[in-house]
Chain A
Amino acid sequence: MSKPSQSSTRSGPAAAPPTPRRRFLTQAGALVFGGIVCLVPTLSGLAVLLDPLRRRSKAGKFIRVATLDSLPDDGLPRQFPVIAEHVDAWNRSLEPIGAVYLRRNPGELRAHCLTATCPHLGCFVNYDDESNTFKCPCHNSMFQVDGEMIEPSPSPRAMDTLECKIENEEVLVRFQNFYTGKTDKVAKG
């Protein structure tokens, strides 16, 4: 082991330089084989990372949200949780998946439903009974009781309405989530 501990690696040309062709083949081989072995773990990792793109939301079913009794026809919005069968990766369970505001105008037998999610950036919108308006606690978007925007507003659109119907003295809502921050209401797929 007579080699000096400090070897200058940059000076001193390699003895008997190989032919350019051989050198090219060596370089190409090193790159190709090195590339292949690095690709295997990278691609398998990518496949798993991209897995969420395969998952689809299963929206579209009417969910029972409240009894008609709990929604008097006084025109005031009331907040209800939406409890539904929820699939979360390996679990499937019955749990709250969101909240809605329901409202029934005097004398009407139909309900109006607004999702509690702010269309601006997704905060939970509060109902302020003093001013009879919806107020978002995050960026101060304000909405009228029917969900229309109160200008000026950071929100690009009115509160999102949800389809709802009354059946057998119960209020059913087709619960959906929408992309926030867009002028158009687009359901998440």
Chain B
Amino acid sequence: MIVTSALIIWKGLMCVTGSESPVVVVLSGSMEPGFKRGDILFLHMSKDPIRAGEIVVFNVDGRKIPIVHRVIKVHEHEDTGEVDVLTKGDNNFGDDRLLYAHGQLWLHRHHIMGRAVGFLPYVGWVTIIMTEKPIIKYLLIGALGLVVITSKE
């Protein structure tokens, strides 16, 4: 019941926001005090051009985990409309060029998965605990299974 409704909400959000993963969990403290570890961000992927100040979620070649940081520089090319974007975490001292692939100076449109539009605190802790302490996940699944088996209705 809970699982099905969660799946329905997830798929519904996918349709509404047009982003392949409409929700991300903040995993690092690089955007503190705005976003803390365990907070949830709702993403939106629209055709609107990327502008400075927006908080974007991007993938870097050679890194598995996407990063949530703020755009601080934008250069939009006249002829192609392609954008060069530089990002920085609010809580980091320097910009993100050190995080990008070796020799990469700018992010481009295809690196960006979406921009953050909404915010919900703490809820992401559930997934962080599940992934970092898998024993709790198995205990939970076991307990639920036990309830299903022993219920008499």
Q: Do A and B assemble together? A: no
Residue numbers of A with Cβ under 8 A of B are none
